[in-house]
Amino acid sequence: MNSKRFLPAAALLVAAPFAYAAQAGTTQKVTVTMSEMMFMPMKLSFQAGRKVELTIVDGGRAPHEFQAYDVPKNSPSGEEAWDAYIEKHAWWLGAKDVKLTVNGKAKAGSFMEVNLKPGEKAVLTFTPTKKGTFEMACHYPGHYESGMKGAVTVK
């Protein structure tokens, strides 16, 4: 047996679990830009149990809001019904270490949406615990109806 070939292979077998652990512990960073009736990207994918750093930018000419929630079986009718639904089904509810900053200033308390004016930026960090498919959307009048929605998958 050639020991020169064996040692590098053995080193890979020993190091492989550590490479995975380092990768599993990394923060999942994504930037979502909101503009006229769209999110870019329209689909997001994360792993449960790994910290998320979601940078949200309003790159449009109008104010927008970022909401992410369990996909409803029946869409609520009207703004008050949507707000009541999202209050109970926001994606980050029950998550660990939820923090939100808007233009560098920390926001205290709980929240169900991130409201931004043109040019503003928010950073939402948390560790998702719930797996599934969620909807992200802007529910400003006419925005959702014009297609300002997308999908968030947590595996």
- Does residue 91 belong to any structural domain of this protein? yes
Query: pLDDT, tens digit, for every residue of 97-132?
Result: 899 999 999 988 778 899 999 999 999 999 999 899
- pTM here? 0.80
Query: pLDDT, tens digit, for every residue of 4-50?
Result: 444 444 333 333 333 222 345 689 999 999 999 999 999 999 999 99
The CATH number given to whatever domain includes residue 107 is 2.60.40.420
Question: Are the beta carbons of 64 and 143 closer than 8 angstroms?
Answer: yes
Q: How many domains does the chain have?
A: 1
- Does residue 20 belong to any structural domain of this protein? no
- Does residue 9 belong to any structural domain of this protein? no
Q: Is 143 exposed, middle or buried (0-12, 13-18, 19+ CB in 10 A)?
A: buried
